[in-house]
């Protein structure tokens, strides 16, 4: 029979304990059980005891990675788009017949689903109308603006950084670094939380992080001092104003057009049989990544510099009377603000080394 080994020394009432805490599926950052366990473990460890928490994986952190799209599916979608462009009056049933003639084994319901996912729309002419309007042809009109100007407008209007500057609308900007300052741990924008109704602090509110928090007043004063120091330099205004030249936009457009033409030629070679389906899928995947990168470059050179639309003259004198939304627009156009973790520094003393402010043109 096994015997328990006697303890070498019986612990006293004031000696530290070794505690094993069992949790079913506790998440220490959200939910009731996990947060409660985190606070209890912190207090127990602060009293000098040794505690180990054993927990299963929380369901809120479980993710299923999306299944990759097979190569045959990509070729089928590419061929379906080509047939829809060649026959704009054909519906999904007629397109399914054309695909079946080319050797694709696909039914009409799958073709209908693929057409819906690809955003294909079909024109159905009105029936039983003898007085219908004559067919229209493409007209040739002189361009109102150049293609470079069109790309600039599209990039500027679709830019997610566009913000309205209404001071009276609901949800107006109150803290001018909110959304500009980012967390140094996860890189997400920080928001202002108010403690006890009067103490403001820029805090990372991303679930799973929430590790960085700094008092709002010292951070705003430090960033304001850096902005004034930058604007005192006469070379700054010339560095942040203006926009990319039309030559850069035209070069980026040519790059996108060349890659798109290359992708279309590969699709033709696969359809005609001069190139195998496997090799075609590999080439199309690589070309898709290059086209995406080229379109991002085109969007970047088409966007005007955000500081070009701002009046930066006499900013130091006008700063006190500016609205928080206007201050945030200036800060977002000139600098990037990253709030770092304390890492052992005194939490109640503001350290400028924990706030990284860098010019955006550097």
Tokens of 160: 């997610």
Burial grade of 246 (CB within 10 A; 0-12, 13-18, 19 or more) = middle
- Quick check: helix, strand or coil at residue 255? helix
Q: What is the mean pLDDT of the chain?
A: 77
Which residue(s) pair with 20 in the sheet? 52
Highest mean pLDDT among 96-100, 193-197, 248-252, 290-294: 96-100
Going by pLDDT thresholds of 50, 70 and 90, the confidence category of residue 167 is: very low
pLDDT band for position 245 (cuts 50, 70, 90): low
Domain ranges of the chain: 18-58, 72-118, 181-241+308-359, 246-303
- Report pLDDT digits (tens) over 40-59: 888 888 888 888 888 888 77
pLDDT of residue 170: 45
pTM: 0.41
List Cβ<8 Å contacts ≥24 apart for 20-23. Answer: 20/51, 20/52, 20/54, 21/51, 21/52, 21/53, 21/54, 22/54, 22/55, 23/53, 23/54, 23/55, 23/56
Q: Is 298 a residue whose pLDDT tops 80?
A: no
> Distance from CA of residue 133 to its chain's centroid?
47
pLDDT band at 3 (very low <50, low <70, confident <90, very high): low
> Which helix H or strand E contains 203, and what residues bound it?
strand 199-203
Taking a C-beta distance cutoff of 8 angstroms, is the pair 106, 99 a contact? Answer: yes
Report, as an integer, the average pLDDT of 282-298: 85
> Percent of the chain having pLDDT more than 70?
77
Q: Confidence class of residue 165 from pLDDT cuts 50, 70 and 90?
A: very low
Q: 3 versus 273: which is more confidently predicted? A: 273
Alpha helices in the chain (DSSP H): 32-46, 71-86, 92-101, 108-118, 147-157, 216-231, 234-240, 246-272, 277-302, 315-318, 324-334
């Amino acid at each position: 029979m096994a015997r328990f080994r006697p303890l070498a020394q019986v612990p006293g009432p004031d000696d530290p304990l070794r505690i094993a805490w069992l949790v079913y599926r506790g998440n220490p950052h959200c939910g009731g059980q996990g947060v409660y366990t985190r606070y209890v473990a912190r207090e127990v460890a602060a009293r000098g005891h040794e505690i180990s928490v054993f927990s299963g994986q929380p369901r809120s952190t479980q993710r299923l990675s999306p299944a990759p799209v097979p190569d045959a599916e990509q070729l089928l979608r590419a061929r379906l788009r080509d047939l829809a462009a060649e026959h704009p009056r054909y519906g999904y049933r007629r397109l399914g017949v054309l695909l079946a003639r080319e050797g694709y084994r696909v039914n009409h319901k799958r073709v209908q689903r693929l057409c819906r996912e690809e955003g294909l729309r079909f024109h159905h002419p009105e029936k039983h109308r003898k007085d219908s309007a004559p067919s229209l042809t493409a007209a040739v009109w002189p361009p109102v603006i150049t293609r470079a100007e069109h790309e600039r407008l599209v990039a500027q209007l679709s830019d997610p950084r566009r913000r309205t500057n209404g001071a009276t609308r609901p949800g107006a900007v109150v803290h001018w670094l909110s959304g500009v300052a980012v967390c140094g741990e996860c890189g997400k924008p920080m928001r202002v939380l108010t403690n006890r109704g009067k103490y403001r602090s820029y805090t990372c509110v991303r679930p799973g992080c929430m590790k960085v928090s700094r008092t709002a007043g010292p951070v705003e004063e430090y960033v304001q001092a850096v902005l004034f120091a930058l604007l005192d330099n006469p070379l700054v205004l010339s560095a942040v104003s203006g926009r990319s030249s039309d030559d850069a936009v035209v070069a980026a457009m040519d790059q996108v057009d060349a890659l798109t033409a290359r992708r279309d030629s590969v699709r033709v070679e696969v359809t005609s049989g001069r190139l195998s389906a496997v090799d075609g899928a590999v080439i199309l995947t690589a070309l898709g990544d290059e086209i995406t990168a080229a379109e991002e470059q085109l969007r970047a050179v088409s966007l005007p510099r955000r500081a070009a639309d701002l009046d930066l003259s006499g900013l130091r004198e006008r700063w006190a009377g500016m609205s928080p939304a206007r201050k945030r627009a200036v800060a977002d156009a000139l600098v990037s603000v990253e709030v770092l973790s304390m890492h052992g520094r005194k939490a109640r003393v503001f350290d400028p080394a924990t706030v990284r402010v860098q010019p955006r043109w550097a």
